[in-house]
A and B are shown apart, each in its own frame.
Chain A
Amino acid sequence: MNAYRELLRALVDAGVEFVVVGGVAATVHGSARFTADVDVVYRRTPRNIRALESALAPLSPYLRGAPPGLPFVFDESTIERGLNFTLTTSLGAIDLLGEVVGAGPYEGLEAHTQVMSVLGVECRCVDLDMLIHLKRAAGRPKDLEAIAELEALREERDTGAQR
């Protein structure tokens, strides 16, 4: 079971700077498609890496798809030496992205975000134009339907705003 909102709140409560992207961001904008994990782009600063460790370490993070028993420790050193992590946690699956194709690191996304309220706390979500741009930049055939839906969503939203 994925507790998407609790996972986001854990990040906010620990003071992590991040932007929600991917399927959860699509849901936030109104997508009807299903997703099975939370994708976030996090800022790669020492302070933020510490905050990330503090947010997720209590949630038993582990490499998704890896055999059990590997000596994986989710700490500052691991995060500093890596970039993107696909993890399972006690609150569900999360992908931590240090960079994303089409925008680069967190700083490249920051200006293209909207603040949303989740379980009473505020966090940043990529805006719909940038989400479409990121999906297109990824260039994955499996995203074609998702891009079509997001563009339809934008049309519906724009049409609704004009009514």
Chain B
Amino acid sequence: MSQDASRVRPDPVIEAYKKHVDRTLLRENLKLTPDERLARLEEMDRFRDALREAGQKAFR
């Protein structure tokens, strides 16, 4: 099937990028449920907003 092409024919460019993937983060995420992974994404989103606000105040 077409969506399995990446398993059959590895792309050398992707393989080069893959060497730099932090697999420790992936292994930690795989221990969570999908709902917990989304909750973590929402936490990151809130953190990003807080950083942005702090940056605006600091460098105004």
- A: residues with CB less than 8 A from B are 1-5, 24, 27-32, 34-36, 112, 116-119, 125, 129-130, 132-133, 136, 144-145, 147-149, 151-153, 156-157, 160
**Are B14 and A32 in contact, with the CB atoms below 8 A?**
no
Number of CB contacts from chain A to chain B under 8 A: 97
Given A27-B41, A118-B38, A156-B23, 14 more A-B residue pairs with CB atoms under 8 Å apart are A1-B45, A24-B41, A28-B37, A29-B34, A30-B30, A32-B29, A35-B41, A132-B3, A132-B6, A147-B17, A148-B15, A148-B18, A148-B20, A149-B18
- Find the A residue at minimum CB distance from B37: A27
**Are B25 and A144 in contact, with the CB atoms below 8 A?**
no
Given A145-B17, A153-B26, also A30-B37 (CB < 8 A) = yes
Q: Is B58 in the interface zone, CB < 8 Å from A?
A: no
Chain A residue contacts of B23, Cβ below 8 A: 152, 156
Smallest CB separation, A31 vs chain B (Å): 7
